[in-house]
Amino acid sequence: MRTLFITAVAALTLVTGCSKKAKYIDPAARSKVEGTGIEARDVQVVVAEMSEALIGALQITGSESPPRVAVMPVENRSRFLIDQEIFTTLITDELINNASGRIAIVNRDRLDDILAERQRKAQGQVSDDGHLQALAGVDWFLDGEIRSLSASSNKAQTDYVVIRFELTNAETGIVAWSNSYEMKKQGGWGVMYQ
């Protein structure tokens, strides 16, 4: 009898569990599954605030021509497993779409492809207008890092996260702009982010 009951419960769980379909939700909406770590909404807010602050920074607004910026990978030094490239991708998009031509983003991710294409043009393997241009150098490097502090008891978890960006002069190495975004979350102890 016990085996029949366990089999019936397992079958019912399997049927009801498989009948639920995933649905699309607004990426900015509060999720029903959240933890104390970095969530999609956090990434969106940080990217929007950082981009707005950077676009308004004197190093950008005070330049005669659009400064050339290389958006470097964000370094994750927190305990959370996240795709750091999501920051790089969204920041690049936000800067290109909202800076209205006041910033020129230099793509360092495709450097090998660009050099190979230049070589093909120089050797006449592919057509071009006959004038190779110099590669665009950068005026600034935009770097970022994620750090966190965690505390827990047998009932709760608290995480303090700092996401920091800095704009470094490519000639002098001087950090000319920096901004940190802080968040602290507390929640019941569970398996999220462990």
CA dihedral 116, 121, 123, 125 (to 10 degrees): 90
Residue 149 sits in a domain whose CATH number is 3.40.50.10610
Domain count, the chain: 1
* Residue 170: per-residue pLDDT: 95
Percentage of the chain surpassing pLDDT 70? 81
Residue 30 lies in a domain: no
Query: Rounded to the nearest 5 degrees, what angle is found at the Cα of 85, between the Cα atoms of 41 and 35?
Result: 35
Whether 13 is in a domain gets the answer: no
Nearest to 170 by CA among 145, 136, 146: 136
* Position with higher pLDDT, 158 vs 132: 158
| Model confidence band, residue 193 (pLDDT cutoffs 50, 70, 90) | very low
pLDDT at 194: 47
Residue 194 included in any domain: no
Q: Is residue 72 part of a domain?
A: yes
Give the model's confidence band at 7: pLDDT under 50 very low, under 70 low, under 90 confident, else very high: low
Q: Give the model's confidence band at 142: pLDDT under 50 very low, under 70 low, under 90 confident, else very high.
A: very high
DSSP letter string, 8-23: HHHHHHHHHHHHPPP-
Which range marks the domain in which residue 79 is found?
A: 38-108+137-188
> Would you place residue 32 in the very low, low, confident or very high pLDDT band (cuts 50, 70, 90)?
low
Query: What token pair was written down for 45?
Result: 């807010």
Q: Is residue 24 part of a domain?
A: no
Say how far apart CA 173 and CA 34 lie, in whole Å. Answer: 39
* 117 in a structural domain: no
Q: What pTM was computed for the model?
A: 0.74
- Give the pLDDT score at 132: 73
Domain assignment present for 59? yes
Each residue's pLDDT tens digit, 58-84: 788 888 899 999 999 999 999 888 888
**CB 152 within 8 Å of CB 180:** no
- Average model confidence (pLDDT) across the chain: 83
Residue 54 included in any domain: yes
Give the pLDDT of residue 141: 96
